[in-house]
Structure formats: structure tokens, C-alpha cells
Chains A and B, each alone.
Chain A
Amino acid sequence: MIGMSAVEWLEPRSLEEALDLRARYGEDATVVAGGTFLGILMNQGFLRPVRLLALRGVLDLDSINQENEGLVLGAMATHRVVERSGMVREGWPALAHAFSVVASPRVRNQATVGGVLADADYASDPPAMLAALDARVVVAGSGGRREIPVADFILDHYTTSLEEDELVVEVRVPGRARRAVYRKFRSRSSEDRPCVSVAAAEVGGGLRVVVGAVAGRPQYFPEACALAESGRTEPDLADEIARRYAEAIEPISDARGSARYRRRVVAVEVRRALEDLYRE
């Protein structure tokens, strides 16, 4: 039917209230964090929400704290706040960098930590870096809280393991990574989204390499990373890990590069990321 079907705006003031609404409406209420991805979907005509559940009024969701050596990013903290936070820049500079290279200052002023994870867009920068740092997504729902590694939270293109009654409340990054790097490879404009991105970090003595923008979810291969503990040395090691990543990934094709091309770039960029990492 044609007509101005009224859209309902829900703006809870507390997390409990938000979770109640989430449990009541499930997917009938579209969750609004910063609203950038949602705005794109709505403007493109992909989505016409009937009810909007905004988290802007929920207290304390936008804080950034340090807890037992680890970093806690509130779901509603914007990209710009993360990238400019002294705490993040000091302890997790590669993470600050990954947030700082997202789109433009405009988008980063709006887009949030929780949003970028819950949207699960394959070409976003932060998820790969967070996964490499072994970060965990803390979600709250009717059944209480649970923690999901970022690498398991994003399942596929725009698909997460978030349940219909759950909300992302924070992201926990474990203690300072001794070394970490993020490389964003663009095949076209300097403003383009990545064709291939590589995040690499040494966490708890182990190496974690995560490749983004090449598949439905960030790509992490622990067996290949385990080679770092085999006692092999640079540059042989970086080459070998990169080769294994290029072999293991089944890349997508899009306007930024074919699958064949992406596979080659993965081999180069993973190696370069490791070279950067060991140079640090």
C-alpha cells in the first residue's frame, strides 16, 4: 500500500531498556548505532525499516577504557574517537591506524566500533585488525553476556553470529600487542576501499595474520601462522606464510580486482606485512 507508514523511533536510555526492546522486536527493530551503513542501505532503497532502535542514548556505551592491560572499546565509540584516543595510540598504534584509514573524517565521526562489526562488510578496515589482535566481541542479550572472538563473530558477507535478541556492547582487545601492523592495499583511487588488507600482530607470543577485503569474512589461518614458531627465519618465513595464505584464500572478484589478481596481491601484501612487523 502506498502511504506514509509511520516509522517508529525508539531511543532507550539504558542497556536494560535497549535489550528489552531488542528482545521484544528482534529484527523488526533495526538497530541504529552511528547509522552510516544503515543510511547507505536506506538511501539505496535496499532497506525500509519500520522501527528504528537507536543506541545513542544508552549511557556508557561509548567509553574507552583500559582493564588489566587490555583495552575495552565501547560499542558506541566512534572511529574518530578511537583513532584519536591517546590510550589507543599509545598501546595499540596499529589499531588506531586501522580506524584512521576508514573512509573520510565525516564517516569516522559517525561510524562506531559496534556498528562496523555488526555490519560485517567485507571491505571494512577495523575487523581484520581487531581479529589479528585476538579481540573479542562482548554481546548482551536476554540470556546474559557472551564473548565471541572477532574471527568467529563475522560469519560471511553482512552476516554475524549475533542473535536476534542481542546487542554488541563492547570489544575487548587483550594486552598490548608487542608488534602489530595494518596494511591497506588499494588498487584504484586513494579514496577507494581496500582490494586487499592485511593485519598482522604478535599476540601472546604467537603470530596472527588476518587478511581482509578478499572474502565474506576476515581470513585467518592458524596453521600457517604457526610456522612462525618453527624457528625459521626471515625472509624465508614471511614468503612461506604469504604463499600459504595465497593458496588457502578463495578470493572474491569485484570492481577492485579479480580473484586471480587478489590472490597474487595477498601473496605480496602478507609478505610485506610480515616484513613490516619484524622491522618494528
Chain B
Amino acid sequence: MKVPLVVNGERVAVEARPDEMLLGVLRREFGLLSVRETCGIGVCGACTVLVDGEPVSACLLLTPLAAGRDITTVESLGGDHPVQRAFVEAEAFQCGYCTPGMILTAKRLLEEMPEPSEEEIKTYLGGNLCRCGCYVKIIEAVKLAAAESYPLREVSGT
């Protein structure tokens, strides 16, 4: 079936099987390889994308359920987004596989809570797993990004 999507600001109608998860479609049809499969059960966060600004596991989202919705992946942030800058500054990654999901989740966290406490960061990012165990520096990065007076209620996909 043809599914109309808005991917990183671009309107596209994409051919997908109705039982296909968005993860595979984003990788195959759009070459968005920052969206990665690890657990396949929505536990790890490596496939996090923002759907209408809210984090969702692309591995569990049937493609037709994303029809007409705004999908943001880390590719669209460009590299100079405050959260990305903070991750680089804090060196909050090792292998980098989980990093795009972390960044998107942190982005949304800071929209909801511009000045999160350490506990709030741990809880909100708790479902994004980093097997390299970079959490100390990830939390540091989120605090850094917050300190950069992160703009409130930022529109998704900037």
C-alpha cells in the first residue's frame, strides 16, 4: 500500500507492506541508517524516532500508523543542534550506536522539562539503553544542553 509520510519535513508517499514496521521502511526507502534495530521489542531505544515530536520505537510502529504524521530522525538535526553539541562536548558516546536515539529522546525531554534533575533525566532516558555504559557522560550532556538555555517548546524537526 501507499503510505503518505512526512519524513524530516518532506512529504512522501511510500510503498510499504501494511504489516511492515516503520524502522525497516526508514532504512530501506529513505536510507535513514541512524534508525537502528537492536532489541525488536521496543525496550532499547536504538530505533527511536520522533513522531509528531514525541519519541516512539520505530521497530514497533506499523508503517500505516505513521500515515500523515511528522517523522523526525537525527539526520534532520544537522549536527549543530544544542543536544548534539552537548553530546560531542561531553563525549557522551563510545560506539555511537545508541546515540541518535539518546539525542532525540533528550531533545524531547528538554522540551518538556527545560531544567531536568538528574533523577528526571535517568527516568526519562531510562528506556534508552547504552551497552557501552556511557550514562555518566550522557547525563552530563543533557545537563549541558539544558544549561545552554535550551529554547522552550521548540518545534520538532528543526
Q: Interface on A for B, CB 8 Å cutoff?
A: 4, 7-9, 11, 32, 35-36, 38-40, 42-44, 48-49, 52, 54, 56, 80, 103-107, 109-110, 190-191
Bound-state CA distance A52–B62 (Å) is: 10
**CA–CA, A36 to B62, complex, Å?**
9
Is B55's CB within 8 Å of the partner chain A?
Answer: yes
- Whether B42 lies near A106 (C-beta < 8 A) is yes
A106 and B127 contact, CB distance less than 8 A: yes
**With A104-B126, A105-B127 given, can you name 14 additional A-B contacts, CB distance below 8 Å?**
A36-B57, A36-B60, A40-B41, A42-B21, A43-B59, A52-B19, A104-B45, A104-B55, A106-B55, A106-B57, A106-B127, A107-B57, A109-B56, A110-B61
Closest Cβ neighbor of A56 among chain B residues: B65
CB closest chain-A residue, reference B108: A105
B133 located at the interface, meaning its Cβ lies under 8 Å from any Cβ of chain A in the complex: no
- Top 4 A-B residue pairs of the complex, sorted by shortest distance between their CB atoms: A104-B127, A39-B60, A9-B18, A43-B40
Does B34 lie at the interface of the complex (its beta carbon under 8 Å from any beta carbon of A)? no
Residue in B18, B43, B65, B105 whose CB lies within 8 Å of A105: B105
Docked Cα-Cα span, A38 to B61, in Å, equals 9
List residues 76-126 of chain B with CB under 8 A from any CB of chain A: 105, 108, 122, 124, 126
Chain A residues in 8 Å Cβ range of B60: 35-36, 39-40, 43, 107, 110
User: How many Å from the CB of A204 to the closest CB on chain B?
Assistant: 34
Are B41 and A52 within 8 A (Cβ)?
Answer: no
Q: Flag if A39 contacts B61 (CB, 8 Å).
A: yes
Minimum Cβ distance to chain A for residue B91 (Å): 24
Other-chain residue from A43, A54, A191 in contact with B64 (beta carbon distance below 8 A): A54
